[in-house]
């Protein structure tokens, strides 16, 4: 029997006003479909988990994501992580009650780190995911945390921040390389190695996957626990089962039974 | 009617929908009389064992669950709900419902805790799950049960040391994983329980 958990393959659905969109380097959004239908599709494809990121800017449409989460949870029986616009314990409670298993926080956690402690105390560390958008400081092996969907530099060092998140009760980190996001040039392995060395909680790798080998590389060399991609899957460039078959061939444990 | 016990312990919607996908009639309830009237009962749970037991005692649910367990109503404990079927709970510490012999202890040192993600379950050949193939199930937990009687162990999972991930003792079942989050394998297992 193995003691290591299998590597998870996670499609990410960026949802704006109830529709799935995915940007290249966070701008230039393209519409890729209905979130509930896509969730059901990925469930059948063998996705190990789903992530919804609500990128709706205004609070007017905040309830839209609750509705999407409810409808998805009604027919998708795999874990569901939801993030975007989460600013309070009450926001977390509503998402969890709607059927989310974990809630991801980004900007709100930077602005009010105590929210991580509060969420962990109230719902358990397993519910609290901190999403970190990191950009490499030019010419250095150092990364800066950005907030507001990648628009706002914070001056905070990503490694220091990851460690603080863990200490405050984050159960998982969703780590996005802003330099690589949308470029299809591979994950930022050095970033993942640095964060992995700093914290002993699971890390989901995000940003940059373009080839099947990119997924294996970030798991084997970057020590990522899970790999996340969006448009690659949405546009059918590659399928979940292709990724899993490649990983399995490379000696990485994956959950294969669900391949249709 | 299947009663899913609501004692403020997290997301009940998924387990409700998973049971309904088998055509079951499901009611989420915190009323002891509804639990006592149910044909089957699910004790879910995430969170802290001590807080959960206090809640179960304060609401009279603990007595109701003990009552249905003793009269032979099928009872399924999920995750923390499985752990609470046993006696001594290291988390707290506190004392569980004591419907099954054994205790719940923290996962071993040196492991990433909580144990969160997909892992395999090897079924041990218990008569109720005789034909169940090994499969992947979704786990989120920091404590594991140690049944006194090995014959109660119907499924085993490796994380550090192997631990009991499925227990069955007469009408009382428990799964450490979340069948409602374990895709087809989990839905199939719920189907087996519904026919048991």
Within 13 A of B45's CA, how many CA atoms are on the CB side? 30
Domain total of chain B? 1
Name the residue of chain B whose CA is nearest to A95's CA.
Answer: B11
**In this structure, are residues A170 and A15 in contact, taking their beta carbons and an 8 Å threshold?**
no
Worst-scoring range by mean pLDDT, A81-90, A118-127, A173-182, B76-85?
A: A118-127
The whole-angstrom distance between B183's CA and the closest CA on chain A is 5
Q: What residues are paired with A164 via a beta bridge?
A: none
**Better-scored residue on pLDDT, A75 or A248:** A248
**In this structure, are residues A248 and A31 in contact, taking their beta carbons and an 8 Å threshold?**
no
DSSP A123-151: H-GGGEEEEEEEEEPTTSS-EEEEETTTT
pLDDT in tens, A21-54: 864 433 344 555 788 888 888 898 899 999 999 9
The pLDDT of residue A19 is above 90: no
pLDDT of residue B10: 67
The pLDDT of residue A176 is above 90: yes
B178 closest CA partner among B48, B34, B77:
B77
Judged by CB atoms closer than 8 Å, whether chains meet at A2 and B158 is answered as: yes
Judged by CB atoms closer than 8 Å, whether chains meet at A1 and B158 is answered as: yes
Within 13 A of A165's CA, how many CA atoms are on the CB side? 35
The pLDDT of residue A77 is above 80: yes
Q: What residues are paired with A175 via a beta bridge?
A: A132, A205
What pLDDT tens digit does each residue of chain B (196 aa) get?
A: 999 999 875 678 889 999 999 999 999 999 999 999 999 999 998 778 998 999 999 999 999 999 999 999 999 999 999 999 999 999 999 999 999 999 999 998 778 788 889 999 999 999 999 888 889 999 999 899 999 999 999 999 999 889 999 999 999 999 999 999 999 999 999 999 999 9
Judged by CB atoms closer than 8 Å, whether chains meet at A6 and B10 is answered as: no
CATH number of the domain that residue B138 is part of: 3.40.50.880
CB pairs under 8 A between A and B: 96
The pLDDT of residue A249 is above 50: yes
The contacts of residue A182 (CB under 8 Å, 6+ apart) are A23, A24, A25, A26, A207, A231
Contact residues, chain B, for A126 at CB < 8 Å:
46, 114, 116, 140
CA distance A173 to B180: 24
pLDDT of residue A257: 65
Spell out which chain A residues touch chain B, with contact meaning CB-CB distance below 8 angstroms: 1-3, 5-6, 8, 43, 48, 70, 73-75, 77-79, 96-101, 123-127, 171-172, 200-202, 225-226, 255, 257-258
Question: Structure pTM?
Answer: 0.89
Among the listed residues B57, B115, B180, B183, the single catalytic one is B180
Where do runs of H (alpha helix) occur along chain B? 13-20, 32-37, 49-58, 61-71, 80-83, 183-195
Give the CA dihedral A121, A125, A131, A136, nearest 10 degrees.
110
Judged by CB atoms closer than 8 Å, whether chains meet at A1 and B122 is answered as: yes
A65 closest CA partner among A131, A32, A33, A20:
A20
Name the residue of chain B whose CA is nearest to A121's CA.
Answer: B47
Worst-scoring range by mean pLDDT, A70-74, A101-105, B47-51, B101-105?
A: B47-51
CA distance A91 to B103: 35
Q: Specify the 3-state DSSP secondary structure of B14.
A: helix
Name the residue of chain A whose CA is nearest to B183's CA.
Answer: A77
**In this structure, are residues B10 and B70 in contact, taking their beta carbons and an 8 Å threshold?**
no
Judged by CB atoms closer than 8 Å, whether chains meet at A255 and B136 is answered as: yes
**Better-scored residue on pLDDT, A99 or B37:** B37
**Helix count (H) and strand count (E) of chain B?**
6, 13
pLDDT of residue A60: 63
Judged by CB atoms closer than 8 Å, whether chains meet at A126 and B180 is answered as: no
Domain range for B28 is: 2-195
The proportion of chain A whose per-residue pLDDT surpasses 70, expressed as a percent, equals: 91
- As for the ipTM of the complex, it is 0.86
Burial class (CB in 10 A: 0-12, 13-18, 19+), A245: middle
Q: Which residues of A are catalytic?
A: 14, 133
Is B20 considered catalytic here? no
The whole-angstrom distance between A96's CA and the closest CA on chain B is 6
pLDDT in tens, A125-166: 889 999 999 999 998 889 999 999 888 999 999 999 999 999
The shortest CB-CB distance from A202 to any of B112, B182, B185 is to B112
A258 closest CA partner among A75, A9, A12:
A9
pLDDT of residue A233: 86
**Residue from A248, A255, A256, A257 to probe the interface with B (highest B Cβ count within 10 Å):** A255
pLDDT of residue A260: 38
The pLDDT of residue A9 is above 50: yes
Judged by CB atoms closer than 8 Å, whether chains meet at A126 and B114 is answered as: yes
| Maximum Cα–Cα distance across chain A | 50
Spell out which chain B residues touch chain A, with contact meaning CB-CB distance below 8 angstroms: 10-11, 13-14, 17-18, 21, 46-48, 111-112, 114-120, 122, 135-136, 138, 140, 156-160, 162, 180-187
Mean pLDDT of chain A: 89
**In this structure, are residues B173 and B77 in contact, taking their beta carbons and an 8 Å threshold?**
yes
């Amino acid at each position: 029997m193995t003691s290591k958990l299998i590597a998870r393959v996670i499609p990410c659905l960026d949802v704006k006003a109830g529709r799935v969109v995915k940007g290249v380097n966070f701008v230039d959004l393209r519409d890729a479909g209905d979130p509930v239908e896509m969730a059901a599709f990925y469930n059948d494809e063998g996705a190990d988990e789903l992530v919804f990121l609500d990128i709706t800017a205004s609070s007017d449409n905040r309830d839209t994501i609750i509705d999407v989460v409810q409808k998805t949870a009604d027919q998708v029986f795999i874990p569901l992580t939801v993030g975007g616009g989460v600013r309070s314990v009450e926001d977390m409670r509503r998402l969890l009650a709607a059927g989310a298993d974990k809630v991801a926080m980004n900007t709100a956690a930077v602005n009010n780190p105590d929210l991580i402690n509060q969420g962990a105390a109230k719902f358990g560390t397993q519910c609290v995911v901190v999403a970190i958008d990191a950009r490499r400081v030019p010419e250095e092996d150092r990364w800066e945390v950005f907030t507001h969907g990648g628009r706002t530099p914070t001056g905070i060092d990503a490694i220091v921040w990851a460690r603080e998140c863990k200490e405050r009760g984050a159960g998982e980190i969703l780590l996005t390389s802003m330099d690589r996001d949308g470029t299809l040039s591979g994950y930022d392995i050095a970033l993942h190695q640095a964060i992995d060395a700093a914290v002993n909680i699971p890390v989901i790798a995000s940003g940059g996957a373009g080839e099947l080998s990119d997924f294996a590389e970030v798991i084997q060399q970057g020590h990522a626990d899970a790999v996340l991609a969006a448009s690659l899957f949405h546009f059918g460039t590659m399928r979940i089962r292709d990724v899993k078959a490649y990983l399995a061939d490379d000696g990485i444990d994956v959950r294969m039974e669900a391949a249709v | 009617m299947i009663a899913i016990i609501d004692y403020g312990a997290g997301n009940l919607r998924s387990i409700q929908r998973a049971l309904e996908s088998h055509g079951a009639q499901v009611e989420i309830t915190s009323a002891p009389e509804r639990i006592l009237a149910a044909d089957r009962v699910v004790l879910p749970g995430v969170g802290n064992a001590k807080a959960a037991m206090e809640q179960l005692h304060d609401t009279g649910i603990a007595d109701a669950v003990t009552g249905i367990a003793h009269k032979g109503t099928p009872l399924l404990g999920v995750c923390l709900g499985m752990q609470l079927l046993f006696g001594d709970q290291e988390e707290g510490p506190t004392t569980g419902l004591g419907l099954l012999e054994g205790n719940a202890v923290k996962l071993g040192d040196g492991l990433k805790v909580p144990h969160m993600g997909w892992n395999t379950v090897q079924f041990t050949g218990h008569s109720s799950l005789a034909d169940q193939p090994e499969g992947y199930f979704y786990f989120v937990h920091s404590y594991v049960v140690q049944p006194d009687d090995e014959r109660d162990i119907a499924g085993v999972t490796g994380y550090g040391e192997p631990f009991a991930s499925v227990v069955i003792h007469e009408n009382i079942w428990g799964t450490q994983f979340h069948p409602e989050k374990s895709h087809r394998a989990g839905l199939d297992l719920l189907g087996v329980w519904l026919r048991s």
